[in-house]
A and B are shown apart, each in its own frame.
Chain A
Amino acid sequence: MSDTQHPDSHGSLEPVEEPIPNPGLHTHTWRPTDVDDHARRRAERQVSMLFGLSALCTVAFVVSYFTFKIGDNWDTFAGLGASTVFLGVFLGLALLFIGFGIIQWARKLMGDQEIVEMRHLAASSAEDRTATVEALELGIDESGFKKYKMVRRSLLMAVGLLGAPAVVMLRDLGPLPQQVENASKGTGLNHTLWGVGGTVRVLRDVVGTPIRASDLQIGDLVNAVPDGIFQLHGTALQEAKAKGAVIVVKMSPDEIVSQQGGDEDWSVNGIVVYSKICSHVGCPISLYERTTHHVLCPCHQSTFDLADSAKVVFGPAARHLPQLPLGVDEEGFLVATKDFQEPVGPSYWERDR
């Protein structure tokens, strides 16, 4: 093969010796529309008809726009509002008919002689390349870029340092994690509203009522939030929810295998409270199986055993869900006696520092 004989030829376009010689381009065959006036006029009519249909659809689109009211009928037609459906259908057809028309025109009426164009190598000609390289080298030489080492190095240093403003300027995108750390407000990675001001009542999510320990039945699961969260709004509310959401579960006290409190008992009469925020990447876990006490995160299927310190029994999570130290206040409502003893949510670099 010719290529092996010239391994250095840079991308030669030389013909390769073939076992069968190239038969060459076929002679052009004429289409019916090229030779038959009748066929040609038929094609012309077809194309114009497609364009005409498109125009009709556009008119129908405009009519639909003004005919179909939206608002009340958001699912009257095919699960969508009639306006959406008809606007979409007529716009779609108007566009498709133009597309079909143009392609029919190209296939039937435009010249269909294949033509041949020769290729060129991607590289420029040897003379051009030599001249360019010479000019480049001459330019570099004349600048003295190679010669004046000190100039070169100080310039590179100066320009390189200009990267610093670009990075430094981004500093105020947000506070540093330690700057927002405030136990009395429940902010930062290590604190939640559960630690704000003595004991914090456990409130039902959405309705915000406190939970009486005696009201819970074995097998119950309640989504709950810390007291004080309903005074918050907007961003502060979302941030507090993102860390403070918990699940309250009641099981028979003898079913509890272990808890995270060590010597302290963090449960109340079989009621345990765990963070609802998955320790994997932070989804709220939500699927509870009462017979096994397993709770499953719907995002990545990490499964935790709430009877056994909420340890991971399956899935990608590496850590248990943090447990909330639980008590009862004088009125018999569930309270957190202190904040979570470890950060909730996904792991991070300095988590265990």
Chain B
Amino acid sequence: MSIDTSKVAESNTTAATAKKPTKAGAVATWADDRLGLGTSMKKQLRKVFPDHWSFMLGEIALWSFVVLLLTGVFLTLWFDPSMAESEYQGAYDPLRGREMSQAMVSAVELSFDVRGGLLMRQMHHWAAHIFIAGMMIHMMRVFFTGAYRKPRELNWVIGCLLLLLGSLEGFTGYSLPDDLLSGTGVRAADGFLKATPVVGTYMSFFLFGGEFPGDAIIPRLYIIHVLLIPGLLLGLIAAHMLLLVYHKHTQWPGPGRTQQNVVGYPMLPVYAAKAGGFFFIVFGVVALLGGLFTINPVWKFGPYDPTKVTAGSQPDWYMGWPDGLLRIIPGWESVIGGFTLSWNVMIPILIVPPLMLTILILLPFLESWITKDNREHHLLERPRNRPTQTAIMVSLMTFYGIAWAAGGNDIIAIKLHLSINQITYFFRVMIFLGPLIAFIITRRWCISLQRHDEEKLLHGYETGIIMRSPEGGYSERHLPISNDAAYKITARPRDEVFVANGRIDENGVAAPGGKLDGLRGKLSALMFADNVQKPTAEELEAARHHAEHEHQLTAALDGHSADGHQFDGHHSVDDETLRGSH
């Protein structure tokens, strides 16, 4: 059987005789001959990305991660993760001659004997703060706008895992210099491990290679920090990005922007330029922070000594909220059958944070279980149009914020001259009350905003022109909002309260999930029953008709100054009329 070469020949000729390629085209052709990227790149190069400032928040996290990789590689060239005892003999004289671990020695030498070393260390630390803050704010944006809904639930899960891993990466990183502050944190971590039921002391002895502090913890944290977690982060970030590309970015509804399309600028050149330019801006801001603002001055803390501690010992901010819970928990401990259960450590560290993460991960699934909504959602919604969901996130944020503030109860006490005890009692109550109050206020606030939107839609916006009727009543003239603005307000799905439509079907067989349907119906009513729904086309038409009528009634008074003195009895009213000239 002979091989049909006609196609090969033809393709060769067409490639050779195609219109004269540019230089970039020539490179692309060379690469495509070997990699065959043409098919996939055909669409991707001009892939559309919608534009909105809030879509940039995730980019902050992404780019600060890149900065972390770059500065981190630099740091590894000098940092020595060893707990071998050594005498510091570097340039920083307050510490010269002090015994400390090799890790601390190399961290201080890196800061004072390597040019740019302190800059890189501080940039690395600042970038870590920005990385986690960026992820957190990005996550809130995604939740508030409903961007986590089908088909993006798995990307939400990946994002939550990134947040967890990022925090662990931060903790393992700032523990490395073996300074007094971070050593205190590691000391507390040992306490957390020991509080674990059954295997606690084993876990502690295995991690520390024996008794605390041992000589194994720094090298072990180091390899976790530079290889294990960064590897996982890289993999998950890659998956996060691939899914983003596959799903295409969500967009705000607007003229021409629908559920079926995505409107924006092409990847090449505009989006690539904006995103690439933004990388330089994030990098530049981190460099300025690193050069101008001291962060984690380990040389001031000194080397770790288990008998010493500084007042106001605080972990990095993202570790602050479990620390706050640890501060406000009452001293609960029970001994059952001779075994000790340290609730005062287990609840704030081993139970609540994993529970919060689980709740966060499950939010999209809980919502879709209640709504039974199986549609894809590519259009974002304003937080006000999802009052219950918005309120849930604000409630979680309030919990986080109160726990975080409790982590600084000593600082609050000092700065505000308050009693540490009273502050702690206050937080013990507010950790429960705060999220509840936040939930109620947010939900009602959202519904009020929805009513305001409806008002604008049906009766127009407030012009600030006060009309006085012949009867003496005052009213403000409303004018219709623009069609685009009206469209944006109405471009959202109607909420539907789930109704369990009979638990028994016509054959007398209970519908599957019938029992849970009752619960689903109740939850759904709680979620949606109070929401304001957008008007129907008829309602809108009627409202417009009414507005036009009112406008006609008052139109005749336009340009007719009625200052109230015309009819006060001191003037002749012969030429005055109430409705213009008849």
Whether B276 contacts A102 by the Cβ 8 Å rule is yes
Which of A18, A19, A122, A189 makes the CB contact (< 8 A) with B151?
Answer: A122
Binds B, one of A70-78, A145-153, A157-165, A263-271: A70-78
Contact mask for chain B residues 270-282; partner A; CB cutoff 8 A; 1 contact, 0 none:
1001101111111
Whether A16 contacts B255 by the Cβ 8 Å rule is no
Q: Which residues of B contact A243 (CB under 8 A)?
A: 211
Give A99 to B274 CA distance when docked, in angstroms: 8
Whether A22 contacts B258 by the Cβ 8 Å rule is yes
Whether A174 contacts B340 by the Cβ 8 Å rule is no
Whether B345 contacts A122 by the Cβ 8 Å rule is no
Which of A102, A180, A284 makes the CB contact (< 8 A) with B306?
Answer: A284
Whether A87 contacts B211 by the Cβ 8 Å rule is no
Binds A, one of B323-331, B505-513, B557-565, B573-581: B323-331
Q: Which residues of A contact B208 (CB under 8 A)?
A: 174
Give A160 to B166 CA distance when docked, in angstroms: 30
Q: Which A residues from 161 to 205 make CB contacts under 8 A with B?
A: 170-171, 173-177, 180, 187-189, 205
Q: Is A121 an interface residue (CB 8 A)?
A: yes
Which of B201, B211, B421 makes the CB contact (< 8 A) with A239?
Answer: B211
Q: B268's closest neighbor in chain A, by CB? A: A110
Which of B212, B276, B299, B490 makes the CB contact (< 8 A) with A19?
Answer: B490
Whether B331 contacts A241 by the Cβ 8 Å rule is no
Whether A282 contacts B190 by the Cβ 8 Å rule is yes
Give A88 to B46 CA distance when docked, in angstroms: 36
Q: Which residues of A contact B536 (CB under 8 A)?
A: 19
Whether A91 contacts B119 by the Cβ 8 Å rule is yes
Q: Is A138 an interface residue (CB 8 A)?
A: no
Whether A103 contacts B278 by the Cβ 8 Å rule is yes
Contact mask for chain B residues 37-78; partner A; CB cutoff 8 A; 1 contact, 0 none:
000000000111000000000000000000000000000000
Which of B265, B330, B339, B494 makes the CB contact (< 8 A) with A353?
Answer: B339
Measured between C-beta atoms, what is the minimum distance from B306 to chain A in Å?
Answer: 4
Q: A225's closest neighbor in chain B, by CB? A: B307
Whether B260 contacts A20 by the Cβ 8 Å rule is no
Q: Which residues of B contact A319 (CB under 8 A)?
A: 331, 333
Q: Is B429 an interface residue (CB 8 A)?
A: no
Contact mask for chain B residues 316-341; partner A; CB cutoff 8 A; 1 contact, 0 none:
00000001001111111101001111
Q: Which residues of B contact A83 (CB under 8 A)?
A: 115-116
Total A-B pairs in contact (CB under 8 Å)?
394
Interface size on B, residues (CB 8 A): 139
Measured between C-beta atoms, what is the minimum distance from B180 to chain A in Å?
Answer: 10
Q: Which residues of A contact B299 (CB under 8 A)?
A: 74
Q: Is A65 an interface residue (CB 8 A)?
A: yes
Whether B486 contacts A99 by the Cβ 8 Å rule is no
Give A86 to B534 CA distance when docked, in angstroms: 57
Given known contacts A20-B487, A281-B326, is B263 in contact with A115 (CB within 8 Å)? yes
Q: Is A1 an interface residue (CB 8 A)?
A: yes
Whether B344 contacts A102 by the Cβ 8 Å rule is no
Q: Is B264 an interface residue (CB 8 A)?
A: yes
Give A91 to B116 CA distance when docked, in angstroms: 10
Which of B83, B282, B493 makes the CB contact (< 8 A) with A235?
Answer: B83
Binds A, one of B9-17, B373-381, B437-445: B373-381
Whether B113 contacts A98 by the Cβ 8 Å rule is no
Give A15 to B536 CA distance when docked, in angstroms: 16
Q: Is A345 an interface residue (CB 8 A)?
A: yes
Whether A241 contacts B339 by the Cβ 8 Å rule is no
Given known contacts A99-B281, A283-B184, is B274 in contact with A116 (CB within 8 Å)? no
Contact mask for chain A residues 78-115; partner B; CB cutoff 8 A; 1 contact, 0 none:
11110111111101111111111111011000111011
Q: Which residues of B contact A74 (CB under 8 A)?
A: 91-92, 111-112, 299
Which of B255, B276, B424 makes the CB contact (< 8 A) with A301?
Answer: B424
20 pairs from A and B in contact (CB 8 Å cutoff): A15-B259, A16-B493, A19-B535, A19-B537, A20-B487, A74-B91, A80-B291, A80-B292, A89-B292, A92-B291, A93-B284, A99-B281, A122-B376, A235-B85, A242-B307, A282-B190, A284-B307, A300-B326, A318-B344, A349-B341
Beyond A87-B119, A96-B281, 13 additional contacts (C-beta under 8 Å) are A23-B484, A70-B115, A71-B112, A84-B118, A95-B287, A96-B280, A98-B284, A99-B277, A103-B274, A243-B211, A316-B326, A319-B333, A348-B340
Closest 7 CB pairs of A and B: A88-B291, A281-B191, A25-B256, A99-B280, A102-B277, A95-B284, A96-B284
